[in-house]
Amino acid sequence: MDRAETKSILAKELTEFTARPYDELVKLIKHTDVKNVVAESGANYQIEYNVFRDSKPNSNLRIMASIDDDG
């Protein structure tokens, strides 16, 4: 897995993901959103997004993403 490539892909995809409306992100709490991406190199990557709140109800949303090439 090309570390520079995955960092670049993840940064771009997170920018797009976090641009979603707040109400849409709230609906994703406790659900994993998965997206498959083909890089310019031709490598296939899977990105998993998890949305959750800080420790208290109605607190800030946090988004965690991971990327894997299944290798």
pLDDT band at 68 (very low <50, low <70, confident <90, very high): very high
DSSP string over 17-42: HHTS-HHHHHHTBT-EEEEEEE-TTS
pLDDT of 57 higher than 90: no
Residue 57 one-letter amino acid = P
At 6-50, the pLDDT tens digits run 999 999 999 999 999 999 999 999 999 999 999 999 999 999 999
Which pLDDT belongs to residue 20?
A: 95
Report the C-alpha gap between 53 and 29 in whole angstroms.
8
Which pLDDT belongs to residue 46?
A: 96
Q: 0.75 exceeded by the pTM?
A: yes
- Cβ pair 22, 60 in contact under 8 A: no
Report the C-alpha gap between 69 and 16 in whole angstroms.
20
